[in-house]
Copies of this chain bind each other. A is one copy, B any other.
Amino acid sequence: MPGFETVDEVLGWLDVQRERMTMTARPIPLEDLRNWHLDPVSGNLGHESGKFFSVEGVRVTDPAGPVPAWDQPIIHQPEIGILGILADRSRIGPTRFLMQAKFEPGNPGGVQLSPTVQATRSNYLRVHGGRPVPYLEHFRDVDPESVLADVRQSEQGAWFFRKRNRNMIVESRDAIEPREGFCWVGLPLLLQLLHVPDLLNMDARTVLACAPPEALAGVETVGGGARSGSLSWITDQRTGTELTAELIPLNETARWRLDDGMIRHDSGGHFTILGVEVTATGREVSSWHQPMLAPTGPGIVGALVTREGGTVSVLMRSRTEPGCTDGAELGPTVQCQPDTLERHPERLAPPFLDRFLSPEPGSVRFDVVQSEEGGRFYFARNRYMVVEIDGRLPAPAGFRWFGLDEISDFMRHSFYLNVQARSIALCLTSLVAAHA
């Protein structure tokens, strides 16, 4: 099977997959969720099997932050899942990746291009009694020598409590004929597809971001990895973190309440926890219910970059979020949800936001809306932007410029880059590759 050559071929194939799957998702009251239990004492939402995930409360203190203390609901899913992509380097030409057309209830458009395997531990141990996960065998008991990337990474620390997934890229040793719903896509085409809104799902973006430079043919890899000064700055940010986050009963979270079948903040901002009924014909089971987290508005994820002496640098911000496993991680220059900022006029807009909301003419290099994890988040979308400026402006406290070669080095290790930063790094890769 030759794989696809053009964006239109992939879009056409995805349309066919959408018809094949015919799945729908619709909001329902939390109280009506089948197989889910609203604990009368704690208010926590959990699955009757005790598996999958739960929605609990978290109490956060951040004495040095703009908001020194708050409560919020958070998704608790302590298992480490597998996000894996099979790679094929057996042919002359760019590395090809085995992608899946996958429906997720929270994704705009439903079906997006996903990793070969995207499985929670519950999934692959088949807690729900579903069918086996296709291609999973390539990612379990794997030969370390055929691994291109294999690293535990965090996911949204504002919404997940210490969620980690294993991001894997494994080279297939044998020729693989894709099953129905799967296809081979070469790297240059994947990077073009990143410029189409809501097409490469979040899991695909985070895994591809972890690909080593040598698998990203045509992409610059100058430099020698993370500098000591950069590592020291990160250690300092992490040591200085005073944020604490402690799980509490969901019904003890101040300013959040269950109302009209949903859990909402009294400001109307941030996000809502709602119930969703999914009806499916092409998935493991034909219908299920689940709670989801729905942000009240789209976000902005923006990176300021500059080009000096042939290398690209990006301005990163140290971010500690309630769900971080090990203190601060590096986020993009800007990461915020404008609708919620507007509801809290007492809070200052984050530095550099204007560079993205009102960019200088000709400075925007990337501007595409992408969606976040569609299995837990309901229509969570961010506008990913890369804005180029002329030279490194001075970095305020909590910000620092990093070279792309440093970013590549961080990607090999856990918990340096948050999930938004990993997505934006892939956008940068696509820009650099387009110029190569």
Cβ of A390 within 8 Å of any chain B Cβ, yes or no, is no
Q: What 1/0 flags go to A225-258 for Cβ under 8 Å of B?
A: 1101111110110110000000000000000000
Which residues of A from 125 to 152 have beta carbons under 8 Å from B? 142, 144-145, 147-152
- Interface size bracket, A side: 20 to 34
Which residues of A27-41 have CB atoms within 8 Å of chain B's CB atoms? none
Instruction: Check if A231 sits within 8 Å of B142, measured CB to CB.
Output: no
Instruction: Please determine whether B228 and A212 come into contact, CB atoms closer than 8 angstroms.
Output: yes
Selected contact of A166 from candidates B149, B239, B325, CB within 8 Å? B239
Closest to A225 in B: B225
Assess whether B144 is in contact with A233, with CB atoms less than 8 Å apart: yes
**Measured between alpha carbons, how far is A186 from B226 in the docked complex, in Å?**
27
Asked whether A414 is an interface residue with its Cβ less than 8 Å from the other chain, the reply is yes
CB distance from A422 to the nearest CB of B (A): 16
Contact of A232 among B147, B228, B238 (CB under 8 A): B147
Say if the beta carbon of A80 comes within 8 Å of chain B. Answer: yes
Q: Is A365 an interface residue (CB 8 A)?
A: no
A interface: dominant SS: mixed
Question: How many Å lie between the Cα of A68 and that of B101 in the bound state?
Answer: 42
Q: Are B150 and A235 in contact (CB under 8 A)?
A: yes
Contact with B along A148-190 (1 / 0, CB 8 A): 1111100000000000001010000000000000000000000
Residue of B at shortest CB range from A147?
B232
With A212-B228, A228-B212 known to touch, is A152 a contact of B238 (CB < 8 Å)? yes
Chain B nearest CB from A172 CB (Å) reads 15
Q: Does A360 interact with chain B (Cβ within 8 Å)? A: no
Q: Does A326 contact B (CB under 8 A)?
A: yes
Whether B150 lies near A228 (C-beta < 8 A) is yes
**What residues of B have a CB within 8 angstroms of the CB of A142 in the complex?**
232, 236
* Neighbour of A414 across the interface among B80, B166, B233, B326, CB < 8 A: B326
**Residue A283 is within 8 A (CB to CB) of chain B in the complex:** no
11 A–B contacts, CB within 8 A, in A order: A80-B239, A142-B236, A144-B230, A144-B233, A148-B228, A150-B228, A152-B239, A168-B232, A226-B412, A231-B412, A231-B413
